[in-house]
Amino acid sequence: MLPEHNSDGMNLADQPSFPWFALQVRARQEASVADQLSGQGYERFLPFYKLRKRWSDRIKEFDAPLFPGYLFCRFNPQNRLPILKTPGVVQIVSFNNIPAAVDEAEILSIQRLASSGIEHQPCAFLTIGDRVRINAGPLLGLEGILSSVKGNHRLVLCVSLLQRSVAVEIDSAFITVLRPVAKPSGKQNSLDRVLTVEV
For 15-42, write each residue's pLDDT tens digit.
568 999 999 999 999 999 999 999 999 9
Residue 100 has a pLDDT of 95
For 118-140, write each residue's pLDDT tens digit.
887 777 677 777 888 888 878 88
The mean-pLDDT minimum among 22-36, 39-53, 151-165 falls in 151-165
Per-residue pLDDT band for 159 (boundaries 50, 70, 90) equals low
pLDDT above 70 coverage of the chain, percent: 72
Domain architecture of the chain: domains with CATH: 20-116 (3.30.70.940), 123-199 (2.30.30.30)
Q: State how far Cα 109 lies from the chain centre.
A: 13
